[in-house]
Structure 1
C-alpha cells in the first residue's frame, strides 16, 4: 500500500512486546494506559475528531501496527494517515450502554497489534455536547514521557480551538522508524557491545535469588495485594533527599532495599527498576515507548547505615545509567547463559516502579492501609512482586502485589508499614540507623534457608526431538541443536521464543511459556515439562 513504511522494533519496545506475547489474551489489557480529558466548553465533536486526526498525521507511532512473521523478527509498520475511529456515548439514560461500560470495554479489550493502531478514542456527551474525551493507549507506542507530551499537545490544541486561534506546536524532529534505523547503525552497535560487556561482568557476580529464603512450594499461587497512603512520607522523603543531595525516588529505593533485606536476610537485594531510557541524544524526543527495566543490584553487606545504603543505591543508578544501551531481550540472554553455567536460575522477579502524579491528591489526613486481592492478570506474568511508589500532590502511596509463594498477606502489610517506618525514622537530622537496627524496627521474623528441591522430569523422546527441531527452525540455525544446553546456549534468541511456542503448538505440544526458555534450564529438562495437547 502506498505510504507504508517499516522497520524493526525499537529497543525500548521489545520489553512491552515480550510481555504482550507472554500473557494470555485476557490479561493483555494490563499494559493499556487510560486517560480522561475534560473538553473545553463549546468544543464541537467535529473539532475533537479533527484534533485527533491531526495528531495521527503528526505522529507515526499513532498509526503503527506490529508484526511477527515466521521468517523475521518482530517489526513495525507505519500506515498512511487516515481518520481515527471515535466512539461516542451519551450520559443520558436511553437504554444504551453507559459511558462507564463503554470505557471499560475499550480498556479491557486486547489490542490486536497486527491490525489495530495503538490508540482508541471515546467521546462522552451530554445533550449532544462533548464533555469528556477518553483515550486508551497501548504501551507499544507510549511510555510516561510520550504520554505527557501527547497530553500537552492535546491540551494546547484544545485551548486553541476554544479560543479560536491557531495552535503552535514544536516540529517533530524524528519518528520511531528513524530511531529504529539508528539502532542498526555502527554507532549504536558499538554502544550496545560496551553495555553488554558491562552486564556480562556484572551478572557474573549477581546473587541468584534475593527471595530464595522465603520461597515456598510451587503450589497454585495467589496474589496478595495492598496499598498504604502516607501524607508524612511526602515531605520526609524530600527532606532526606535534600540532605543527601539525591532524588526522592532514590530515598524510596533505599528504604525498599532495607525492607527487602530485612525480610529475606539476603546480602544483596536485586530488582528490576522501571525507568526511562531516553537520555539526551538526538532521538530523545521520539514519540514511542523508550524504556526498559534496569537490573538494580544493591550490596547490603557490612551492616550499612541508611545513609551508606542510599549512597550505594545512588552509585548503582549512576552506573546503570551509563550502560542502558542493551535491549532487554539481550539482557535476558546474558542472565540465561549465566543461570545455565551455575546450574541455578538468576531470578529478577521483583519489580519496582516510581511514578510521579503531582496533579493528583489523596486527601488523606493520616496513614491509610487497604488490602485487596491482587490482579489475576499480573499473576499470569510470573513475577514475584511488584512494588510501586506514587508521589502524589499531598502524599506518597505505596503499592505491593506479591505472589503467595514468597509473601503471605501479613508479610505484604508489614512490608508496606516497614517501608514507611524506615523513611520516617530518618526524617530527623542526625538519625542514621544500621541495617540490623532497621530490621528490628520493621520486625520481620528471621528468614530461614530454603532447602526446596525440584525433581527433574524425564522427557518424552518425541518431545525432545520436536523441541530441538523447532528451536532450530524458529532461530534459523545452521547446526543441530544440542538439548543438553539451555535455549540461549543452543543459539536461541529471546525475541524468537514466541515463534518456538507457536511451532510447538503446531506439533501438538504445550505446557511451557516464555519464561521457561529464559531461565537457563537445559532443553532436555524443558522437554520433560512439555505436555501433549493432541
Structure 2
C-alpha cells in the first residue's frame, strides 16, 4: 500500500494576465505536441538534497514563494482558433505536492516520466522525501514550456534564499527578471518583429549557401521502432584542457568545444565545412539573465574551411558563433515556413540535421588554480567511453545531436546519432577526436 501523502500549495492574489505565447513557449509546445508517450523526455528537472533537513511546513512555504516569484510556474498554454498558443497566467490556484518517505530516486523517476497537460495544469510538479520528520530531498519537475536549463539555476538560488528567510519582494529586487507575458509583448512589438525578420533572413541566407549533404548514407525509415545509439565520453582531461586552451588563445571555453566539434564534423563528413544547429540561451538583454522562462532557441553556426589547423579555427569559430547567437531568437513557425518555401526552390536547402548543445550550466572554462592542475597525461588515463542507452528515432532530418555536460570532475560529451549515417565506429572516432584536438592544442601551449 502506498504511503504517499498529497498536500496542496495554495496561491492567491498573485498577478493574472493573458498574452500570446512567447516564441520559446510556442516552439517547445510544437515540438512536444507530436511526441505522444515520448513527450516526458522534454521535461526539465531539479532534484536536490536538502541538508540539513527542513520541516515540511517551512518547505511548503518556500515553494509557495517560488510560485509567487515566477509567472511561468503558474502559466497554462491553450491554442486559439488559429492554432496559435495563448498563455494564461493564473492569479489563484493550487499545486499538488507528493510527500513520501523513502527513496528519492524512485520519486524523481515517477515525476519526471509523466507528461504535462499544459492547458489544464501548472507546468510544475513537486515531490518531497521525508526522513525522521524532516524533508531531506526535493524534486522539481517542470514542463520545458515553463523554463529551459538556464532558468533552473535561478530556481535553485531562489530556494536557497527563501529558506534563508529572504522575502519574495527582496529576491525580486536582487534579481529582477523578465516574465513570459512581458517577453511576449516585446516580441510582438515593431522592434521584436524586426529582430525576428533579421534572424530568419540570416538563416535563409545560410540555408541556400551551406552544404546540401554532410554525411553520405541512406536513412533507414522503414523500421519506426529502430533505436538510435547513444555514446558518452567522460573526460577529466577535456575539462582542464578546454580551460587551458581558452585562456591561452583568448577565446571562450564554449568556442573551444564548438571549434572542436566543427573540425571533427568537417573531417568525418569529408566536405571541409561545418554546419551545426547550436542551442543558444538568448539571455543577452536586460531582465533575461535571471528569467525562469523558455528563451533558449537554435542558432545556425556555419564555419567554412573547418578542416584547417585547429589553432586557426578558434578565432573564426568564436566569431561565427557570436553571429549565430545574434540571430537565435525568432518565431519558429515562420522560420519553418521559410524553410519549406526554400525546399521547393532549385538547389534546396543546406543540411541542418546536426545539433550541438553546450549544456555546461556552470562555468567550466575558468582555469583551475595552480595546485589543482593535474598533468593531462594522467587525466587522459581516466577517460571512459560508454554506450548507456538507445533512443527512439527523431525523424528523417536527423544525423546527430551532441550535448556537452559538466560533472564534478569532468566534461562529458553525449552523442546520439543515426547509425546509418554515422556508425558506432564513427561516433567513437568523433568523440575521442574532439578530446584529442583540444588536448593537442593545450600541449602546444605548453601544458603537459
> What TM bracket, shorter-length normalisation?
0.7 to 0.9
Deviation at 1:9, TM superposition (A): 1.2
1:276 to 259, 281, 284: 281
In 2: Cα distance, 1:61 partner to 1:408 partner: 41
In 2: Cα distance, 1:365 partner to 1:207 partner: 37
Task: Find out whether 1:61 has 2:66 as its counterpart.
Answer: no
Counterpart of 1:366?
382
Residue 17 and residue 382 in structure 1: after superposition, are their counterparts in 2 closer, same or farther (change >3 A)?
farther
Counterpart of 2:292?
287
In 2: Cα distance, 1:278 partner to 1:359 partner: 15
In 2: Cα distance, 1:230 partner to 1:71 partner: 48
In 2: Cα distance, 1:183 partner to 1:82 partner: 28
Counterpart of 2:136?
131
Residue 207 and residue 115 in structure 1: after superposition, are their counterparts in 2 closer, same or farther (change >3 A)?
same
Counterpart of 1:71?
82
Counterpart of 2:322?
318
Structure with larger Rg: 1
Task: Find out whether 1:37 has 2:52 as its counterpart.
Answer: no
Is the 2:311–2:441 Cα contact (8 Å) retained in structure 1? no
Is the 2:208–2:348 Cα contact (8 Å) retained in structure 1? no
Is the 1:224–1:412 Cα contact (8 Å) retained in structure 2? no
Q: Indicate the SS of the match to 2:211.
A: coil
How do 1:238-249 and structure 2 match up within 5 A?
238-249=243-254
Is the 1:359–1:393 Cα contact (8 Å) retained in structure 2? no
1:169 to 168, 171, 189: 171
Q: Provide, for residues 181-231 of structure 1, a one-character-per-residue CA deviation record: whole Å limited to 9, x for no partner.
A: 1211112122323333333323221222222x2445544243111111111
Deviation at 1:130, TM superposition (A): 1.5
In 1: Cα distance, 2:426 partner to 2:325 partner: 32
In 1: Cα distance, 2:289 partner to 2:268 partner: 39
In 2: Cα distance, 1:215 partner to 1:239 partner: 40
- Point out the structure with the larger strand share: 2
Residue 173 and residue 31 in structure 1: after superposition, are their counterparts in 2 closer, same or farther (change >3 A)?
closer
Counterpart of 1:414?
429
Residue 364 and residue 35 in structure 1: after superposition, are their counterparts in 2 closer, same or farther (change >3 A)?
farther
Deviation at 1:345, TM superposition (A): 5.2
Q: Provide, for residues 394-422 of structure 1, a one-character-per-residue CA deviation record: whole Å limited to 9, x for no partner.
A: 22211111112212222212221121122
Is the 2:21–2:86 Cα contact (8 Å) retained in structure 1? yes
Q: Indicate the SS of the match to 2:357.
A: strand
Q: Indicate the SS of the match to 1:417.
A: helix
Alignment RMSD? 2.7
In 1: Cα distance, 2:50 partner to 2:257 partner: 36
- Bigger relative contact order, structure 1 or 2 (CA pairs below 8 A, ≥6 apart): 2
In 1: Cα distance, 2:143 partner to 2:29 partner: 11
Task: Find out whether 1:405 has 2:420 as its counterpart.
Answer: yes
Counterpart of 1:224?
229
Residue 269 and residue 215 in structure 1: after superposition, are their counterparts in 2 closer, same or farther (change >3 A)?
farther
In 1: Cα distance, 2:172 partner to 2:385 partner: 44
Q: Indicate the SS of the match to 1:366.
A: coil
In 2: Cα distance, 1:173 partner to 1:224 partner: 39
In 1: Cα distance, 2:434 partner to 2:169 partner: 46
Residue 409 and residue 197 in structure 1: after superposition, are their counterparts in 2 closer, same or farther (change >3 A)?
closer
For structure 2, the 5+ residue unaligned runs are 1-11, 365-378
In 2: Cα distance, 1:278 partner to 1:313 partner: 20
Q: Indicate the SS of the match to 2:328.
A: coil
Counterpart of 2:3?
none
Please give the TM-score of this superposition, normalised by the length of structure 2.
0.85
2:58 to 39, 43, 47: 47
Is the 2:77–2:88 Cα contact (8 Å) retained in structure 1? yes
Deviation at 1:45, TM superposition (A): 0.8
How do 1:149-164 and structure 2 match up within 5 A?
149-160=154-165
Q: Provide, for residues 355-407 of structure 1, a one-character-per-residue CA deviation record: whole Å limited to 9, x for no partner.
A: 225599xx99611111133223x646963211111233422211111112212
Is the 2:125–2:141 Cα contact (8 Å) retained in structure 1? yes
How do 1:67-466 and structure 2 match up within 5 A?
67-91=78-102, 98-160=103-165, 168-171=170-173, 172=176, 174-211=178-215, 213-220=216-223, 221-300=226-305, 303-342=307-346, 344=348, 346-358=350-362, 366-376=382-392, 379=394, 383-429=398-444
Residue 344 and residue 192 in structure 1: after superposition, are their counterparts in 2 closer, same or farther (change >3 A)?
closer
Counterpart of 2:26?
14
Q: Provide, for residues 12-39 of structure 1, a one-character-per-residue CA deviation record: whole Å limited to 9, x for no partner.
A: 223212211232x211111112212222
Deviation at 1:127, TM superposition (A): 3.0
Deviation at 1:153, TM superposition (A): 0.5
